[in-house]
A = this chain, B = another copy of it.
Amino acid sequence: MKPKATAGAAATEDDAPRPLDHGALDEVLGYQLSLADVPSKRLYFKHIGTPFRLRPVEYSLLVLVLSNGNDVTQKQLGQALSLPAPNLTILLDKLAERGLIARERSDVDRRVQHVRLTASGTRLAREAHACVPAMEREWSGLLSAQEKALLARLLRKMAGRS
């Protein structure tokens, strides 16, 4: 049946017509970034997102608070993840409803909200983060450990930190 497959289309997986030539886009860094995001998200949801009911940004928030010793303000979180303040407010509201984080007004500056993990938030963040090695290992079919480390380093430079 299959359409006919002009070239020697090797049935990539499911069905699949002839795959396109990405040609002119192959050197556009942002394009490669977008394409790489697809399998990355897929692995994330498999290992962390679905089991722990955490969206990528929620996971990032929890681990950022954890990594900074529960001494973090909303302003800092917003800047670290490039989140507009209103979105962050909603995100933190949801995490607070689930009992994962709590907010405390600063004593030295009453405008500032400190964010800290609750006991169960700390537990969840640790458990979720413990799944990272298994997730990262799944790249091994495509990238060696050295390539992965190199890639992480280059992406860090790209984002201007390093």
Q: Which A residues from 71 to 129 make CB contacts under 8 A with B? A: 72-73, 75-77, 79-82, 109, 112, 129
Given A152-B29, A158-B142, A158-B151, A23–B67 Cβ distance below 8 Å?
yes
Assign chain A's interface to a size class.
35 or more
Compute how far the CA of A64 lies from the CA of B25 in the bound complex, rounded to whole angstroms: 8
Expressed in whole angstroms, the minimum distance between the Cβ of A38 and any Cβ of chain B is 5
Within A20-41, the residues touching B (CB, 8 Å) are: 20-41
Contact B29 A159 (CB under 8 A): no
A3: Cβ under 8 A from any B Cβ: yes
B155 near A142: Cβ-Cβ < 8 Å: no
Known: A39-B160, A159-B36. A27 touches B154 (CB 8 A): no
Is A10 located at the chain interface by the 8 A CB criterion?
Answer: no
Are A142's CB and B129's CB within 8 A?
no
**Are A26 and B64 in touch, CB under 8 angstroms?**
no
Judge whether B25 and A60 touch: CB under 8 Å. Answer: yes
For A71, the closest partner residue in chain B by CB is B6
Chain B proximity mask over A38-50: 1 for CB below 8 Å, otherwise 0? 1111011000000
